[in-house]
Amino acid sequence: MPRKVLIIGGVAGGASAAARLRRLDESAEIILFERGEYISFANCGLPYYLGGVIQERENLLVQTVQGMQERFNIDIRVKSEVTRILRQSKEVEVLAGGQTYRESYDYLLLSPGAAPILPPIPGMQRQGIYTLRNMADVDKIKGFIEEKKPQRAAVIGGGYVGIEMAENLKHAGLAVVVIEAAEQVMGPLDVEMARIVEQELLANGINLILKDAVQSFQGETQIDILLGSGRQERVDLVIMAAGVRPETKLAQEAGLEIGAKGGILVDEYLRTSDQAIYAVGDAIEVKDRLSGQNALIPLAGPANKQGRIAANNICGAKDKYLGSLGTSIIKVFNITAAATGNNEKLLQRAGIPYLKSFTHSGSHAGYYPGAFMLTMKLLFSPTDGKILGAQIVGRQGVDKRIDVLATAIKHGLTVYDLEELELSYAPPYSSAKDPVNMAGFTAANILKGDVKVLHWEDLKGLAREDHLILDVRTKEEYDNGHLAGSVLMPVDSIRQGLAEIPRDKKIIIYCKVGLRGYIAYRILAQRGYKVYNLSGGYEMHLAEQYKYAEGIDLNEQMTKFEHIPSPTATLEGKTVQVDACGLQCPGPIMKVYKEMENLQTGEVLEVLASDPSFPRDAKAWCERTGNTLLSSESTAKGYRVMIKKGNAQASVPAHNQNPLDIPHGKSIIVFSSDLDKAIASFIIANGGAAMGRKVTLFFTFWGLNILRKDVVGRVEKNFIERMFGLMMPRGSKRLGLSKMNMVGMGPRMIRNIMQKKNVASLEELIQQAKDSGVRLVACTMSMDLMGIKAEELIDGIEYGGVASYLAEAEESDVNLFI
């Protein structure tokens, strides 16, 4: 008898479990209940939609109900809230459309997620105060911004959602203040690393209020926020981002065990205290892989993996979920911050001994333009060097380094292993000694006793009469700022100045980031001095004062770090930004064409694209359309092209003095009904249309099948016409390939690849051509010979013969036969 599985909640955990269940068991009855309208949406992308980074709402919908039902044969019931779990009868009670009914199950999987924490603050229910959890929330906030035009916003909470919301509200044009009750933003980071993030927020106009909690919301037309310190902030919009708590109401009422952290308790197989009920995602307590203690880790990555494992086990496997490292990453304006494993607070709470080190390395080789500082904090065991945690902040290359370190922690590697890792190197991407290697070298030196270190907190309360603080930087650096009471002795002159260094005191050495300090340490340690190097150098002191990375061009490691300003900084007049990333040819050029129509002469279009051919296409487009290509550059995020409307002559042959005499039309005869040739025809046509050219596609003989409708009503035909119709493909969706058709498998494969590569389908290309004014002409003579009737063809088709084609050909500088 087929197993019946009910899933409560979609998005990451529930939707991934449902899809995995179907892949494992085609006969299972799977029902997914979602109290909202959407089963799978990019909740991590919601802030970026509000900020306009993600412009299309539909892009947030990862999977639709219809799409998932068709692909996986799953009974999906949206706007259906499960209100009770009846464990004895193995049923759930469902409220939908005002009616209540029951549904039985063999297995039940809970994926209710987590809800925003709403502290009991007076005035919380007033208009203009929102949380952000789902599509309904984002629609409300978007509507409020568009309708009310708020000028100032407050974000309550400095976690991931709070910081992302602050940045994107700033992008939306609002003045923003972040209010955080703790002493820092970004709880997964330790305080000195969080200061770098805070500096970036301040530098981009975000106001920060730390160690101050909201007491009440007051006011009439605006919202007055009264803080514990007595301070008051007046805003038009409030986003509550004080954290999330597991949704456990159903589980509690059903008598399932709840852990001390407030999440649903599950075993290593993700079973609850009821063996027929599994739970995944933000609602459950998981094992911290380092401390072994239970933890709440509301992240999409672990939830997806848990959904897969739970589905495996429902189908009879014995897969274990061994816990989570809490690996996380966030973009904050121009920098990235990431963490994995335990931070100092967690290690102290768990009673785990640790050592720490700081390194500052270039994101890639310093002699290659565009390298930026990566600041890395490593936490490791004082006995065997096992890596316990890592944090990185920088502009580029943070993501790949944190992933390497997360992998290292997962497999129990040590700092000695980091020294030996063979990582890819080329000047644009890294250095011969990757930042991960450098972190390993530094930590291993501490463990082996090659260097003794002190940290910034060790300097507080230090008996200065027993110590000498030695600054081994240059005089210029020292004069620009130094530790109080420190003595300057540049590293290159230490050997000559040994007589001036007292032997009866402990010597504390510091430089900018630690490297010169280490060299000075080795010189003195080998001569019998009691010496310590300040881990992380003066840079960590600057971080505390929100001055991190000032003077980074000081050749610390005999490399040069350069900052390449955005071209927009030197432009005058209006500049419009367009994001064409993810689009394949001719998508970016068509987007340029449409946006340029809305600009006035002299205004500039800044286009970001990921298609490698776009810079060349943009250059050719500008030359042929009379626009000016200002700049074209490759960036860490893709390709940036700046185009000024007008002020450039369209290129014409030198021998032709009158550019108006040049035919610029494009004529294409489409003879083939092969899918690949049809796609090529429409890509060329859309490219021509994007350049403002008149384009005509002339369909003849087998090419007419591209224009046929998939489904058509009864059409009067004679016997021969009906036979032709049966032997030919009906419409674009049934076309075969010219090569590797493989009895229909080839077309399905190429369409699947096009979808994954974000290339428009043939049907989308046809619609784009029609929208761009491309003429689609069907040859009436061929229609008559092949028995194809006008009512069989898609809308928007013109009809003509050879004279129509020749007339267009004479006005064209391109004539193709496909």
Catalytic, 44? Answer yes
Q: Which two tokens stand for residue 7?
A: 């899933």
Cis preceding-peptide flag for 586 (omega within 30 of 0): yes
Give the strand order in the sheet containing 129-131. 129-131, 237-240, 152-156, 175-180, 207-210
Report the range of poorest mean pLDDT among 170-179, 193-202, 484-493, 769-778: 769-778
Per-residue pLDDT tens over the stretch 21-68: 999 999 999 999 998 887 777 778 889 989 888 888 888 877 777 778
Q: What is the pLDDT of residue 654?
A: 38
Q: What is the pLDDT of residue 558?
A: 35
Question: 713 pLDDT exceeds 80?
Answer: no
Q: pLDDT confidence of 562, banded at 50, 70, 90?
A: very low
For residues 472 and 454, give the distance between their C-alpha atoms in angstroms, rounded to a whole number.
Answer: 16
Q: What is the pLDDT of residue 614?
A: 72
Higher pLDDT, 553 or 210: 210
Q: Please, are residues 501 and 529 in contact by the beta-carbon 8 Å criterion? A: yes
For residues 703 and 738, give the distance between their C-alpha atoms in angstroms, rounded to a whole number.
Answer: 13
Report the range of poorest mean pLDDT among 398-407, 512-521, 617-626: 617-626
In sign, the C-alpha dihedral spanning 220, 222, 226, 230 is: negative
Report the range of poorest mean pLDDT among 446-460, 656-670, 710-724: 656-670
Q: What is the pLDDT of residue 658?
A: 41
The pairing of strands 114-116 and 244-246 is: antiparallel
Q: What is the pLDDT of residue 808?
A: 75
Q: Which helix (H) or strand (E) holds 700?
A: none
Per-residue pLDDT tens over the stretch 499-510: 999 999 999 999
Question: 96 pLDDT exceeds 90?
Answer: yes
Report which of 499, 617, 90, 314 is spatially closest to residue 607, judged by C-alpha positions: 617
Helices (H), 497-586: 515-525, 537-544
Mean per-residue pLDDT, 73-96:
94
Report which of 271, 267, 260, 269 is spatially closest to residue 296, judged by C-alpha positions: 260
What phi, psi does 110 have (nearest 5°)? -95, 125
Q: What is the pLDDT of residue 595?
A: 86
Question: 219 pLDDT exceeds 80?
Answer: yes
Question: 564 pLDDT exceeds 60?
Answer: no
464-496 in b/e form (b: 16+ CB < 10 A) is eeebbbbbbbbeebbeeebbeebbebbbeebee
Helices (H), 626-732: 675-690, 719-727
pTM of the model: 0.68
Per-residue pLDDT tens over the stretch 762-800: 888 898 888 888 888 888 778 878 888 888 888 888 877
Instruction: Please tell me which residue in 44, 315, 622, 779 is annotated as part of the active site.
Output: 44
Report the range of poorest mean pLDDT among 277-286, 696-705, 710-719, 806-815: 710-719
Q: What is the pLDDT of residue 201?
A: 92
Name 608's Cβ contacts closer than 8 Å, sequence gap at least 6.
Answer: 577, 578, 579, 580, 581, 635, 637, 638, 639, 640
Q: Please, are residues 328 and 375 in contact by the beta-carbon 8 Å criterion? A: no
N-term to C-term CA, the chain: 55
Burial class (CB in 10 A: 0-12, 13-18, 19+), 524: buried
Per-residue pLDDT tens over the stretch 608-655: 876 655 776 787 778 777 888 888 776 655 678 889 988 765 544 433
Q: What is the pLDDT of residue 59?
A: 83
Q: Please, are residues 784 and 801 in contact by the beta-carbon 8 Å criterion? A: no
Percent of the chain with pLDDT over 90: 48
- Three-state secondary structure call for residue 71: helix
Name 777's Cβ contacts closer than 8 Å, sequence gap at least 6.
Answer: 696, 697, 698, 699, 797, 798, 799, 800, 804, 805
Q: pLDDT confidence of 697, banded at 50, 70, 90?
A: confident
Work out the mean pLDDT of the chain and round it to a whole number: 86
Q: What is the pLDDT of residue 556?
A: 40
Question: 417 pLDDT exceeds 90?
Answer: yes
Question: 185 pLDDT exceeds 70?
Answer: yes
Per-residue pLDDT tens over the stretch 427-437: 999 999 999 99
Q: Please, are residues 704 and 732 in contact by the beta-carbon 8 Å criterion? A: no
Beta bridge partners of 375: 360, 393
Higher pLDDT, 800 or 390: 390
How crowded is residue 363: how many other Cβ atoms within 10 Å of its Cβ? 25
Q: What is the pLDDT of residue 258?
A: 96
Report the range of poorest mean pLDDT among 204-208, 466-470, 557-561, 623-627: 557-561
Mean per-residue pLDDT, 246-275:
95
Place of tokens 């816990």: 323
Report the range of poorest mean pLDDT among 232-246, 418-432, 670-684: 670-684
Q: pLDDT confidence of 656, banded at 50, 70, 90?
A: very low
The pairing of strands 453-454 and 487-488 is: unpaired
Per-residue pLDDT tens over the stretch 524-549: 999 999 999 999 888 887 777 666 65
